[in-house]
Amino acid sequence: MSVDTDTVKRVARLARIKVSEEDATRMTGELNAILGFVEQLDEVDISGVEPLTSVVEQTMKKRADGVTDGNKAADITLNAPASEDHFFMVPKVVE
């Protein structure tokens, strides 16, 4: 796959990035080099290789699913600068 200057400008416009003519020309070469590296990945033989989700084998530790009542409102608002009835008090921001 090859990228030309018009494609670079179109992608830049879609990304809402202002690109000068000089930068578009420079980016064309850079993007073609990047796409060349990506195309090299197609040459790798991956038959018989299972996809990985992690580089180390791991299983998720699951906790029991149960309803708990926190009863920690006082602890949560303990360090707040101002609180009332277990609610954070903040300055008024809307006139």
pTM (two decimals): 0.48
Those residues whose C-beta lies under 8 Å from the C-beta of residue 60, and which sit 6 or more positions away, are none
Q: How many CB atoms lie within 10 A of CB 27?
A: 19
Contact 77, 86 (CB under 8 A): yes
The pLDDT of residue 17 is 94
- Residue with the two structure tokens 């990304």: 15
Above 80 in pLDDT, residue 41? yes
Q: Where are the domains of the chain?
A: 5-40
Asked if residue 19 has pLDDT above 80, the reply is yes
User: Between 46 and 54, where is the model more confident?
Assistant: 46
Containing 33, the helix (H) or strand (E) segment is helix 21-40
Assigned CATH for 5-40: 1.10.20
Q: How many Å is the maximal CA-CA distance in the chain? A: 65
